[in-house]
Amino acid sequence: MMKNIFSILALAIVTALTAHGAEPPVERVFVSTDREVYIAGDIVWCSLFCFDNKGIPSSLSAVSYLELISSEGTVAEVKIGLLDGRGAGSFRIPVTVPTGVYRLVSYTSCEANEEGSPWMSGSRLLTIFNTLSTARVKDGVSILDGEAYSLLKRSAPEEFGNLVFNSQSRVRKGASFDMLIQNDGPASDFSVSIYHEDDIIPAPQDCSMSSFLNSLSSIKDPVIIGNRPLDYDGEIISAHVKGEIAKEDGFSIATLSSAGAPSNLYIGITGNDKVSFMTNNIYGDREIVCEVSSLDKKEGVIEIDSPFIYPKSGTLPKLFLNKEQYGDLTSRKVALRSEASIRLDTIATMLRHREDLLLESSPLQRYHLDDYTRFPSVKEVIVEIIPILKLQREKGKYHLRLTVSDVTDNYRTRVGNLLVMMDGVVLNDLDNLLDFDAMLIEDVDIYSQAIVCGKVSFSGIVNFVTKKNYVTALTFPANVRVVDFKGVSYPVAYYGTKPEGLEVDCRQVLYWDPAVRIAHGGQHRFQIHAPGYSGKFRVVAEGVASDGTPIHQEWTFEVE
């Protein structure tokens, strides 16, 4: 929790420097994706490059916010974590989006405070077809006859870099083969995608890594109009509070916790109608529970604020439709359906990401209740099985006390002010716990070390772990908000493993690695599994070299 204090100090220092005329921090994010053409329902794999205005990877922000937007507004949102200026993640295009051209933009809180739209230089245009609906983006689609469509060609991006691809140019369906990427230039950091290139023509990109890097040097004296706090250690979750708070010493405690993950525990302080939780990034989509102590139980409520800013899309090219696309779109739809039953975590490989080690690095004393005589009530469990816990009733309310001792076990004392949780969710009202069926509890974990966060301290933590995350079935007071929270996307790579259970391997993406790093003279070797159909496949490497020069190189091969 001490990291929260340092984050506040860092934010205060940056604010003070800016107020005294020092140059404010600048960040820009470039988005690279696995391909350019998708159908509604597809997964988009993303690789992010975050730089300052000198072209140096920025380690300032720990999270970036992405929005998929058309001329009619935002249709999808995702958060992707950043480590030393690099990030990776994925999101699924909603099946309801209309056919059209969309812009995928990425920005940090640092950028969001600037006037204007500085994030456009690193955006990506995605061409999206909805094969289940005739809906189209308003004024964003044109119908071409066969002759006019035949004249369209995929725009060939300018190539940069010193990568050399070495592999077979023709392979058999279903075969496995090696690919080698040799780096004859400076140390390079880039993404690699291998995907099926059919005859559908994507919208021409209006941004490239080259133009993005060139734009950084032109940034002069950005105008700061926002006061959004910067996400130094992870996403800062902001919320506002409605209702009267019975404050003690001028402040009230707010807690944010997520079911199934005791380490995702954050404490905020509020003296007014706003509260912020400084996280280490909460990964994945999960239920979170928010509560403000001493908040009016009838009318009080805490509501999470959206971190997204919903920018305009800028000028977007039109998408051209023609009946010649029908066959390729049908093949894409078949591929998507065949992969619909495959979970992302069965084919993806987790990459390095930020960890919240608040509890995971702390020693605990675990009571596995199946090792003892089972009791039906929580009171009996505490009394009969866990001697270091004592349940006391004061002024009509129950409290838990914990017996702690020194290293010699000669000195013992019983302390209060414990943080009580169930499945990682804070329980301020112990009646919820005591009314719970103890037969559904699997473990009781006790963390006996004190936790301090600013003005708030706890003598220890007690976490009652249920067998199947039953905490979500509890009935909380009206002032406790349980919400479906979209956390930071897990950073993953897809190394081309053929998913099990597919009758026909019709994968469109054969390989995706968002963060390949090769030293000068080094190489990267990997294996590819060809699908069960014939076609042309494109290999795209995109990133930046250590000397600040862009990388964009492509290579193709045939599956026969």
Q: How confident is the model at residue 6 (pLDDT cuts 50, 70, 90)?
A: very low
User: Could you give the number of structural domains in the chain?
Assistant: 2
Query: Does 414 score more than 60 pLDDT?
Result: yes
Residues 348 and 370 in one domain: no
Residues 401 and 536 in one domain: no
Domain end: 448, 475, 502, which one? 475
Residues 405 and 500 in one domain: no
Query: Does 408 score more than 70 pLDDT?
Result: no
Residues 64 and 176 in one domain: yes
Domain end: 475, 499, 518, which one? 475
Of 21-25, 35-39, 406-410, 494-498, give the range with the top mean pLDDT.
35-39
In a domain, 549, yes or no: yes
In a domain, 508, yes or no: yes
What are the tens digits of pLDDT across the range 252-302? 888 899 888 777 888 887 767 889 999 999 999 988 999 887 787 777 888
Residues 58 and 102 in one domain: yes
Angle formed at CA 67 by CA 64 and CA 70, multiple of 5 degrees: 160
Q: How confident is the model at residue 445 (pLDDT cuts 50, 70, 90)?
A: very high
Paired tokens of 559: 């599956």
CB count in 10 Å sphere of residue 341: 10
Give the pTM. 0.90
Q: What is the CATH number of the domain that holds 404?
A: 2.170.130
In a domain, 262, yes or no: no
Backbone angles phi, psi at 461, to 5 degrees: -135, 140
CB count in 10 Å sphere of residue 149: 17
Residues 405 and 533 in one domain: no
In a domain, 503, yes or no: yes
Residues 344 and 416 in one domain: no
Query: Does 366 score more than 80 pLDDT?
Result: yes
Residues 58 and 180 in one domain: yes
Is residue 440 within 8 Å of 368, Cβ to Cβ? no
Residue 303 burial by CB count (10 A; 0-12/13-18/19+): exposed, middle or buried? exposed
Q: How confident is the model at residue 4 (pLDDT cuts 50, 70, 90)?
A: very low
Residues 519 and 444 in one domain: no
Nearest alpha carbon to residue 376 among 320, 313, 441:
441
Partners of 191 in beta bridges: 542
C-alpha 287/C-alpha 277 separation (Å) is: 16
Q: How confident is the model at residue 14 (pLDDT cuts 50, 70, 90)?
A: very low
Domain end: 420, 451, 475, which one? 475
Burial code of 181-202, b = ≥16 C-beta within 10 A, e = fewer? Answer: bebebbebbbbbbbbbbbebbb
In a domain, 235, yes or no: no
C-alpha 513/C-alpha 495 separation (Å) is: 7
Residues 416 and 540 in one domain: no
Enclosing domain of residue 441: 365-475
In a domain, 54, yes or no: yes
Residues 141 and 167 in one domain: yes
In a domain, 380, yes or no: yes
- pLDDT value at residue 220: 82
What are the tens digits of pLDDT across the range 122-179? 999 999 999 999 999 999 999 999 899 999 998 888 999 999 999 999 999 999 999 9
Length of the chain: 560
C-alpha 212/C-alpha 192 separation (Å) is: 19
Dihedral (C-alpha) 360, 415, 386, 448: value to the nearest 10 degrees?
20
Query: Does 542 score more than 60 pLDDT?
Result: yes
Paired tokens of 77: 């949102």
What are the tens digits of pLDDT across the range 70-108? 999 999 999 999 999 999 999 999 999 999 999 999 999
Residues 316 and 434 in one domain: no
- pLDDT value at residue 15: 46
CB count in 10 Å sphere of residue 88: 26
C-alpha 120/C-alpha 113 separation (Å) is: 15
Check residues 329 and 404 and name the one with the higher pLDDT.
Answer: 329
Residue 417 Ramachandran class (φ > 0 left, ψ -120 to 50 alpha, else beta): left
In a domain, 250, yes or no: no
